Amino acid sequence: MTLGNFLNDGKSKKLKNQNNQKEMVIQDLLLPVQNSKERTEDITHVIMHCISNVDNNSQDPYNVNAIYNRLRDKGLSTHYMIDREGTIFKLTNENRVAYHAKKDDMPSFPVYPKEVDQYSIGIELLGIRTQGETSDILTKEAYDSIDVSNIEWTNEQYGSLGLLLGDIYKRNPSIVRDGIFGQASNVAGRPFAYSHDSTRYTHNPNWMEGIKDTAKLSELSIPGTHDSMAYKTEVPATDHVYTQSMSLETQLDSGIRFLDMRCRYIDGSFAMHHGPYYLDAMFGDVLNIVTKFLGENPSETILMRVKQEHSEVSDQVFNETLQEYMDRYPTFFWDSKNGSIKNPILGGMRGKIVILRNVNGSDVGLNYPHNFNIQDEYKLDSNWSLYDKWLKVKNHLNNAKQAYPNGSGEAYINYLNGSTGKLPVYPYFVASGHSSPGTWAPRLSTGLTTPGWAHSYPDFPRTTCFLGICTISFEGTNILATDYITKNKLKYAGIVVSDFPGPDLINAVIKVNNHLLGSEVPGDVYQIVTSLNDTSVVDLNRSDNEVTLWSDNGEDNQKWKFVYDEKEGKYLIESMTEENLLLAWNGSHYPRKVVVKQKPAYKPYPDECYWTLRSLGGDYYEIINKGQRVYPGDYMPLWLDVDHSGTTNGTKITVHESNSTKAQKFKLRRV
């Protein structure tokens, strides 16, 4: 059967993009079964490559038939291939391991016990990389002879890739936060920091859980959204109106903790607006969603800027209406004690909405903008003003970085968004630098090239190169800020507010808080003493490796070394009887016994081996396990617990949901 006949006869799966503009088809083009093997591990990564037949035929480098045959004959494979027109071919089912990557090709890939392929989905995009990246197979003369239209990826490929990745994420929530790698210049090193999709690409419903209660607002780095409700309108609008693509529920679930709410006063109620555009929601709808989220995730807090938009009632009327809304949810709003608290601690904000009142005449919440150091230069005269906007964002990130060690007590807010000043400038462009709104649309060219303008826009990327001349392309503030935060290893970024945030931007800001996770204790040896009687200690029974409560006898089986894992932001607790024994739990539903487990030879260690400390004051702590996986990628934290609050020798130590009793309160006594 010819390839053409195979395509006509093959099965296909249809996907629509979120705007239903066109339908994409996934066409089965399966490689022989011997080109893959059974998968035994969760999928945690997606790896994208360029592929072509350029070394065999530089004038026809994208012949699908030829590329398929090469993979087949070499015993190689991939899961998906996207041709230049955006057609998606499935070459291997996801439940099988495709032979598409090697560990030495991926230096930043986590150390796993099996090969990289076992944990990843491979996507090949028909494309030719830069001359430097193809120098091992092509001479410079041969490369220069290639039609420039055959280099890099097409708009159609970017569109199909966005649809495919969204579909993969939905079906594989086990994919980790930093789980996209690229082996080509088109994607390698460029973070997934912009998303114009409604899909949830990351899952952070309780990321504040492990942060110490004493962390002040001015110490927290928080991802936020600008004009948070501008993801839908009552009537169709143009791209200058929309600033988000995720629903409010999805924003919260993804980790957004700063919301920008623009309220129009109408007959005693607030309608959500972006300028004159009604966003098809009322403020009551917003509060229903946010309070439901906080009820389910009481470890979190939501900062909510409230501003009057497209109405002109007095501050008194606006404040009275806001108070009426607040009175409907009396337990969900943070109390500033008549404005006396200006830099609250997280412990006091958990489970609460903190109003940032962008209106005078009230002491509700925090005064906005006076309690904050804010960068909000949002007007761009043209697309070429994007670099000036980025410099303002970059400067504010640097100012926050410099201010943090000085303990100024002032929280920083940095708005990445921008839009029209004089000429049309769309929010999606400022966030992405793209030529169109799509998540994977290509960058727009500035019109400048190197070497002639080599010193222009130094932070913008140099892309398509031909005969030594490279295009200088725009880059979005979301991508630039994510790179800056990650590469500079910031300890403080402040509140980072954006349009269309992608998972890498959200997660980069969240990770800045790693040094605030739990309570930091010196990496030393401790006894873990129950607060039930302040004498009995956590004890290892070496005969069965179970952990119980026992009277203090000073032996090594009652001593534990706390070792902080910087990457995980959590502790490993080693038994002093043998350093390769880690405090963990048995992974069963009930009873959830605490045991010791042999330290594996590879990282990351099993989830049940990681612990967070939460200070309760004095030398007392809650000791919180990473928890039980509810479904791939989502965990329910579990607390170290003395079974039934017993104090007799041999009482089992377990892990349990939080109950705020003395059974979950322990003193760390250094020995």
> Chain centroid to CA 481: how far?
14
pLDDT for the residue 41:
85
pLDDT for the residue 614:
84
CA-nearest of 634, 633, 640, 632 to 657 is: 640
Of 196, 273, 274, 396, the active-site residue reads 274
CA distance 403 to 408: 6
pLDDT band at 178 (very low <50, low <70, confident <90, very high): low
Percent of the chain at pLDDT > 90 equals 61
For 330-384, the pLDDT digits (tens) are: 999 999 999 999 999 999 999 999 999 999 999 999 999 999 999 999 999 999 9
- Of 462 and 159, the structure prediction assigns the larger pLDDT to 462
- Mean pLDDT within 327-332: 97
When mean pLDDT is compared across 10-14, 217-221, 522-526, 644-648, the lowest value belongs to 10-14
CA-nearest of 372, 375, 662, 646 to 498 is: 375
Token representation of residue 340: 């006396």
Burial per residue of 351-366, b for 16 or more beta-carbon CB atoms within 10 angstroms, e otherwise: bbbbbbbbbeebebbb
Q: Pick left, alpha or beta for residue 520 (phi over 0 → left; psi -120 to 50 → alpha; otherwise beta).
A: beta
pLDDT for the residue 28:
95
Instruction: Check pLDDT > 80 for residue 81.
Output: yes
Q: What is the DSSP letter of 543?
A: T
CA distance 166 to 198: 9
Pick the CATH number of 217-419+487-516 from 3.20.20.190, 3.90.1150.10, 3.10.580.10, 3.40.50.1000: 3.20.20.190
Architecture per CATH, domain 3-182, reads as: 3-Layer(aba) Sandwich (3.40)
Highest mean pLDDT among 138-142, 327-331, 612-616, 634-638: 327-331
pLDDT for the residue 45:
84
Highest mean pLDDT among 101-110, 476-485, 601-610, 625-634: 476-485
Paired strand residues for 86? none
CA-nearest of 84, 53, 83 to 69 is: 53
CA-nearest of 646, 631, 665, 622 to 42 is: 631
For 268-279, the pLDDT digits (tens) are: 999 999 999 999
CA distance 355 to 329: 13
- Mean pLDDT within 481-509: 95
| Domain residue spans of the chain | 3-182, 217-419+487-516, 525-670
- Read off the pTM: 0.69
CA distances (Å), 161 to each of 5, 167, 440, 464, 646, in order?
Answer: 25, 10, 7, 20, 56
CA distances (Å), 420 to each of 224, 481, 490, in order?
Answer: 21, 21, 31
Q: Average per-residue pLDDT in the chain?
A: 87
Instruction: Check pLDDT > 90 for residue 184.
Output: no
When mean pLDDT is compared across 100-104, 404-408, 459-463, the lowest value belongs to 100-104
Does residue 522 sit in helix, strand or coil?
A: coil
pLDDT for the residue 2:
31
Q: Say how many CA atoms lie within 13 Å of 177 toward its Cβ.
A: 18
pLDDT band at 530 (very low <50, low <70, confident <90, very high): very high
For 376-394, the pLDDT digits (tens) are: 999 999 999 999 999 999 9
CA distance 143 to 18: 38
Of 49, 226, 273, 434, the active-site residue reads 226
CA distances (Å), 326 to each of 184, 332, 353, 355, in order?
Answer: 52, 8, 10, 10
Per this entry, what is the length of the chain? 671
Q: How many CB atoms lie within 10 A of CB 315?
A: 13
pLDDT for the residue 179:
54
CATH 3.90.550.10 fits 525-670, yes or no: no
Question: Is 274 an annotated catalytic residue?
Answer: yes
Instruction: Check pLDDT > 80 for residue 203.
Output: yes
Instruction: Check pLDDT > 60 for residue 6.
Output: no
| Cβ within 8 Å of residue 520, ≥6 positions away | 564, 613
